[in-house]
Structure 1
Amino acid sequence: MEERVIVVDDIPVATSFHRPGFEAAMPLLVCLHGGTYTSAYFGVAGGPLGSFIDIALRSGFPVLTIDRPGYGGSGTLEDEENDFARQAEILDAVIRQKVAELGASGVVLVGHSIGGMIALEVAARRPVWNLLGVTVSGMGARIPAGGASEQLGAIPVTGMIDLPVPERDAVMFGPEGTFSEEARKAAHTTYALTPMIELKRAPVWARERLAKVAAQVEAPVQNFLAEFDALWDTSPAALADFIEYFADGAGATSEIAPRVGHSLDHHLLGASIHLKQLAFAYTCTTPTSA
């Protein structure tokens, strides 16, 4: 693993590059974690096939993980500046530098939860580097009114918040039998202090931003929502809405991932999602005929 801090507008952003053991001419996978986690999220193994990073490297994909502003080794943004479009602006610049440094011919963005929202914000910027596709999980088209997401956003604090582990687990994991105790404990090591402003902005993003963002996205989009997601509307109508938002671009898919909770990657069937994400990334490397 090669670690590097890149400074953008005086904000240090910590990155970790994971190189596969063989050359396969695969696109660079750039992973953006969700709220309450660091980028170590993508290194937690939900089952015997390993973590997202493990499976990607075995398949020949180089992987770049990034601590978003406010997390891990990265600097923080003031609340008034810390919206998802601003994070996307900073991360766009970080990715541009890493693409040039690594000589990557193409990029597929991989985003979970808030990281998925920001991945779409990055895509909507139509970056100068070669964005081939976006695969997002743990986010969708609708937040249920009065649900867990709005309840988290209503916590009356500012600044950084350290959510109790039992409360996090209740939101992030599905029912007993969908995850292992080893994975749950490993996930705890990636829980982090969280900018409260993110939890306040996340519940309204789909309503206020998704349609506008989708209209600007030119790359294909793949989306997964968990069967036992505690935060998002997983109804067929909500999935159809997500697909419709991207109808004028390269298109989107949206499907339910069975037997997983919100943090899909950390469940026993997380690897089945990873394999679909890698297949999508591989497909993005082959141009479609006109």
Structure 2
Amino acid sequence: MSVDRTDRKKTLPTHSAGVRPLLLEAAGLTLSGLVAEPEGSPRATVVAVHGGGMRAGYFDGQAHPGLSLLTLGARLGFTVLALDRPGYGRSAAQVPAGLTLGEQAVVLPAALDAFAERYETGRGFLMLAHSYGGKLALTTAARSPGLLLALDVSGLGHRYAGESADLPRIRHHVHWERTWGPLGLYPPGTFRAAQALVAPMPSREGAEVTLWPGMFDELAPRVGVPLRLTFAEHEAWWLHGRAHIADLTARLERAPLVRVERQAGAGHNISLGRAARPYHLRALAFFEECLESAGEADAPEMCVDPAVSAP
């Protein structure tokens, strides 16, 4: 596929103004990441967890000023921490083969503890995760109850579409199309900027891809935090018709709130596309709702966007 000439020529910065790189020592690993803080004390801390083959900069897109979750969250009173998962960024030299989801779910809470020793975190941690990062977020929520106040996940379902789980056999152009969707969903400069974000998926991480449906079925009943799931209009990796959404939400029996929505005008990589800002605003609004209702003993609520309910 050709790339727009503007995309090839434009020089882009490494990260947005107000966004700083940081290193955290956690469970014997050095994790790299990005952080943005509000002017005053934070309401809470949003932890952003990237997907497979990406890095923390996924949440600080440089192709357009409105893409960055980090700058938006900080302006709205949140500290935002985007971490490179184990096997990416600085820790890639320590664990070049990466870690399993279970092992990453040990490192992540340790990283948040280390972060809390150095930064104000407000009322606690809210997690926003994409794709494979959503797998880690759900695994962490199930294994570390009380760590997270709420969870927002995009680009993740519980059943793969067709042969999507068989990554080694998917042709490169098919993989690309499923990951990005139509080119027009992204602002000029996106694919040039993405060169700094893309990283190889570690082998141990890749080996678990096909296991996710069974892993989800095991951990879903233990997720006990409010959860919002977003499927892009052009999501092609996951099944997200009416029956699949009903089955997915039914398995999240302990979550006090499960909300499923569709993001119009978006591909799988929502946070790098033109729909990034509306998606991030909706996610932060969800977090605001969760902060306001924290401590209230309501019955579990299931809420599915009618746009997602199509067969």
For the aligned pair, the TM-score class normalised by the smaller chain equals 0.7 to 0.9
- After superposition, where does 1:1-290 map in structure 2 within 5 Å? 1-20=19-38, 22-23=39-40, 25-45=42-62, 47=64, 49-75=66-92, 76-77=94-95, 79=97, 82-104=99-121, 105-127=123-145, 129=147, 131-147=148-164, 149-150=165-166, 152-154=167-169, 169-205=176-212, 207-286=213-292, 287=294, 289-290=296-297
Deviation, 1:135, is 0.5
User: How much has 1:102 moved relative to structure 2?
Assistant: 1.8
CA contact (8 A) 1:33 1:114 kept: yes
State TM-score, norm by structure 2. Answer: 0.80
Alpha carbons of structure 1 residues 48 and 90: separation in structure 2 relative to 1, 3 Å: closer
CA separation in 1, counterparts of 2:88 and 2:181? 25
- Superposition misfits of 4+ residues, deviation over 6 angstroms: none
The structural deviation recorded for 1:46 is 6.2
Residue by residue, what CA displacement relative to the aligned partner does 1:269-288 show, whole Å, maximum 9, x if unpaired?
Answer: 12111111000111121125
Number of corresponding residues: 276
Contact 2:222/2:254 (CA < 8 Å) preserved in 1? no
Q: Would the alpha carbon gap of residues 153 and 93 (structure 1) be closer, same or farther in structure 2, given more than 3 Å must change?
A: farther
Q: Contact 1:47/1:267 (CA < 8 Å) preserved in 2?
A: no
User: In 2, Cα distance between the equivalents of 1:145 and 1:200?
Assistant: 18
The 1:25–1:139 alpha-carbon spacing in structure 2 relative to 1, beyond 3 Å, is: same
Gaps of 5+ in 2: 1-18, 298-311
Work out which structure has the larger RCO, using CA pairs closer than 8 Å and 6 or more positions apart in sequence.
1
CA distance in 1, matches of 2:223, 2:233: 26
Q: What runs of 5+ residues in structure 1 fail to find an aligned partner?
A: 156-162
Asked whether the equivalents of residues 138 and 263 of structure 1 are also in contact (C-alpha less than 8 Å), the reply is yes
1:67-113 CA distance string (max 9 Å, x none): 1111111244375x821111111111111221233242311011111
Identity of aligned residues (%): 27
Whether the 8 Å contact between 1:178 and 1:268 is mirrored in structure 2 is yes
Please give the alpha-carbon distance, in whole angstroms, between the structure 2 residues aligned to 1:3 and 1:46. 19
Match of 1:74, SS state, is helix
Alignment CA distance shift 1:193-1:279 (3 Å): same
CA 1:168–1:19 in structure 2 vs 1: closer, same or farther (change >3 Å)? farther
2: CA distance, partners of 1:73 / 1:199: 19
Separation in 2 of the partners of 1:55 and 1:251? 25
